């Protein structure tokens, strides 16, 4: 294996965190802000670029960091190395309610494509790069953008998703249609495209968007029930101008006055 071989345990239900066990000299890499806690004897170091071994010199590191910048991530990642004696643990937490998915890249052909903000942490040696959508229409209308994250290597990687996660294995030629925001990750064999919903009533009154993702097997896709963008839009809607939108209430703002919350 090129990547460090790490052990792990995922704790919790809706607000999960992953515990990674490091042998001496082993390293885990993580996105900025994912760190939760660690044992004494683990050294934290900021690295430039992705989590690969970075043997390509300065230009290779700059190119690696530039790819991360295109996905909206920081130029830097954090490496956590066990410099002590015996096994040590470091913990990383998901940034919003949902699930953490553990993926052994060696079991999925060494490559995984995921949402550009889904990556949480991985074993050192896993490369976090970019995946350009081959179809320009997919990039423009797909909801997840023209650029997604690409995880490559033969080690463990961890991604986070909102709500409940459903793993679906597609047979050759089998097609699954999904809301674009609900796609967390898929294996390299999957053919990903975007399809127009169609129908004038669906377009104007449907409320589900104009496009949905189509994934054609064979391969595996991970689907989240609550995209963070959907959660954020609901919070914004309920918080507009400090008002509560009372579901099913005919009193509206007057109801807020009656129950003491004001307008």
Predicted pLDDT at 219 = 95
What DSSP string describes 86-144?
A: S-EEEEEE-SSSEEEEEEEGGGGTTEEEE-TT-EEEEETT-EEEEEE-SSHHHHHHSSS
Burial of 201 (0-12, 13-18, 19+ CB in 10 A): exposed
Residue 171 per-residue DSSP state: P
Res. 257: pLDDT tops 80? no
Q: How far apart are CA 248 and CA 222, in angstroms?
A: 34
Give the sign of the dihedral formed by CA 109, CA 189, CA 75, CA 42: negative
From residue 134, alpha-carbon distances to 115, 148, 184 in Å are 16, 11, 18
**pLDDT range class, residue 108, cuts 50, 70, 90:** very high
> What value does the mean pLDDT take over residues 62-71?
56
The Cα 156–Cα 102 span in angstroms is 7
pLDDT tens digits, residue range 18-55? 999 999 999 999 988 899 999 999 999 988 766 565 44
- Residue 98: pLDDT over 60: yes
239 burial level (CB within 10 Å; 0-12, 13-18, 19+) = exposed
Residue 207: the pLDDT is 47
Is the Cβ–Cβ distance between 15 and 91 less than 8 Å? no
Q: Which domains are present in the chain?
A: 7-239 (3.60.160.10)
d(CA 33, CA 30): 8
């Amino acid at each position: 294996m090129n990547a460090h071989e790490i052990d792990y345990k995922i704790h919790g239900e809706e607000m999960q965190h992953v515990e990674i066990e490091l042998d001496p000299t082993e390293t885990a890499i993580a996105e900025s802000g994912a760190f939760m806690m660690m044992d004494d004897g683990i050294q934290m170091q900021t690295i430039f670029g992705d989590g690969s071994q970075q043997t390509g010199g300065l230009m290779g590191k700059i190119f690696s960091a530039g790819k991360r910048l295109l996905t909206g991530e920081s130029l830097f990642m954090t490496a956590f190395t066990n410099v002590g004696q015996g096994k040590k643990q470091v913990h990383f937490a998901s940034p919003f309610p949902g699930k953490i998915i553990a993926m052994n890249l060696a079991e999925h052909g060494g490559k995984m494509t995921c949402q550009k903000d889904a990556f949480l942490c991985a074993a050192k040696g896993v490369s976090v790069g970019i995946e350009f959508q081959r179809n320009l229409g997919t990039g423009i209308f797909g909801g997840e953008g023209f650029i997604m994250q690409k995880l490559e290597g033969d080690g463990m990687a961890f991604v986070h998703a909102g709500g409940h996660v459903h793993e679906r294995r597609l047979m050759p030629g089998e097609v699954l249609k999904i809301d674009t925001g609900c796609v967390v990750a898929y294996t390299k064999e999957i053919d990903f495209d975007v399809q127009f919903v169609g129908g004038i009533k669906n377009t104007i009154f449907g409320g589900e968007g104009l496009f949905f993702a189509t994934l054609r097997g064979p391969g595996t896709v991970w689907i989240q029930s609550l995209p963070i963008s959907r959660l954020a839009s609901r919070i914004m809607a309920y918080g507009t101008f400090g008002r509560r939108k009372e579901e099913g209430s005919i009193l509206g703002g007057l109801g807020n006055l009656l129950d003491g919350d004001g307008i």
